[in-house]
Structure 1
Amino acid sequence: MFVDQHLIVIRGNSACGKSTVAAELQRRMGRGTANVGQDHLRRVVLREHDVPDGDNIGLIEQTAQHCLQIGYHVILEGILYSGHYGSMLRRLMGRHDGPTHVFYLDVPLEETLRRHAGRPLASEVDSTKLREWFMESDVLGVPGEVVLGGEYDVGGVVDRVIQAVGPVRERTSSSQGKFL
């Protein structure tokens, strides 16, 4: 079992910058960092709506757990509503022996609407739907959870997360040479 692997959970409402932050974190943390995105597993792989007890919840948990077990740092990002995903997230964090970091991006509704308007998804999901999905301060309430408000741009969020996580050790397994 790897105990130096970091588990980083980034949650927040739609269009608050989670996916952009996760991609930049993965780039900065280097190879051996897995970016496990809720939207990809739920919307792309399973084509599932976000519902309580959805199939994607177990897939997300197993994917993150597998990546940790084989020595990857894991960035798990998504809306990850506490009512749907809270138990799974607490279970995943409880089983992880390494450092765990939880961030909630608490961006106000008006700012998420502004950001959403410039995304390709805006043609599929209108502002009315975004308003329906918006959850005010949906924090998990776990020890060490960091809430970052809308005053931070993506770069500021990435800097804060990198500062909290600190230096990471790169993955050094024999499969490392297989990365392209």
Structure 2
Amino acid sequence: MEQCPRLVVVRGNAASGKTSIAAELQREWGPGVAVIGQDHFRRVVLREHDVPGADNIGLIAHTVRYCASIGLHVVLEGILLAEHYGAMLRELVAEHPRPTHVFYLDVPPEETTRRHLARPLGAVVPAEVFREWCVDDDRLGVPGEVVLDGAPPLEIVLAALREHLGPLEPQREPNPSRYL
């Protein structure tokens, strides 16, 4: 029996674990889960900078709505700065039938910098520049928003997130021919 599609928003500074969490949720929940990654839409699809009013904001909103409308659980992940994406995110949360979950990963700047330097991008973007990207306490301020300590290992952060999400049934049965 299908559940109402969930909307799960995972936000936080660069290198806070958002993409890893989204990928793990999709792997765990199986078919019927769409992961919408801000970086993919902004950097890959549109090749644009993260600025107020950028085209990726509308594209992300449209994609989230479409995926939910066809019955998929949606995990939206990204830095999603409140200053640039706040209005769009608040609108998505307000219009989405429950259940809706909004998480903010709070990771100390020293830890995100350490993680950044261990990634391939760390060889291209120096720590000083990376630190300028970080925003302190960029909560969205929507009812029910959960702030998680994102500094511990991924397994611990995922366990805390799962506790808030509760059980989830797959939206669709696996159909290998669908992916050929």
Q: How many residues align?
A: 179
Per-residue deviation at 1:98?
2.5
Determine the structure 2 residue equivalent to 1:108.
108
Q: Is the 8 A contact 2:101 2:165 kept in 1?
A: yes
1:160 counterpart residue number: 160
CA apart distance, 1:175: 7.6
- What is the root-mean-square deviation of aligned Cα atoms in Å? 1.9
Alpha-carbon distance between aligned partners in 1 of 2:4 and 2:114, rounded to the nearest angstrom: 38
Choose 137-146 or 155-164, whichever is displaced more. Answer: 155-164
Superposed CA offset, 1:47-89 (max 9, x none): 0000000000001111111100101100000000000000000
Residue pair 1:3, 1:98 contacting (<8 A) in 2 also = no
Misfit runs of 4+, over 3 Å:
172-177
Partner of 2:124: 124
Change (3 A) 1:174 1:35: closer
Could you tell me the percent identity over the aligned residues? 53
TM-score computed with the length of structure 1 as normaliser: 0.93
Give me the TM-score of the superposition, normalised by structure 2. 0.93
Measure the CA separation in 2 of the matches of 1:88 and 1:124: 31
| Structure 2 equivalent of residue 93 of structure 1 | 93
Alpha-carbon offset, residue 174 of structure 1: 10
In 2 relative to 1, CA 47–4 (structure 1 residues): closer, same or farther, beyond 3 Å? same
CA distance, structure 2, for counterparts of residue 94 and residue 53 of structure 1: 20
CA distance in 1, matches of 2:144, 2:51: 27
Q: Is there any run of 5+ residues in structure 1 with no aligned partner, and where?
A: none
AA partner of residue 127 (structure 1)? A
Task: Compute the displacement of 1:151 (Å).
Answer: 4.0
